[in-house]
Amino acid sequence: MGIGILAIACIVIAPVMPMMKIVPFFATSSGAILTISGLSLIAGDGLMALLAYILTTLVLVVIVCQVW
């Protein structure tokens, strides 16, 4: 179940990356999140997955605040 949620988070982040280039360093942060997510899937490390979830939430909150 956790793997599926992480995979869905990666699928949601990837198409949004080109739109994030408007704000400096947001595309870089989403690339780092995708890298951490991939490493957590390969290593099976829950701590890395938790870090990826937290960073994903943080970036999405900042994007929503920028849009509103």
Question: What's the pLDDT at 1?
Answer: 67
Spell out the alpha helix ranges (H) of 1-68. 2-16, 26-43, 46-67
Per residue of the chain (68 residues), give pLDDT as tens.
678 888 888 888 888 788 777 777 777 888 888 899 889 888 988 899 899 889 888 877 877 787 77
Q: Rounded distance, CA 34 to CA 27, Å?
A: 11
Question: Which residue ranges make up each domain of the chain?
Answer: 28-68
Question: What's the pLDDT at 34?
Answer: 87
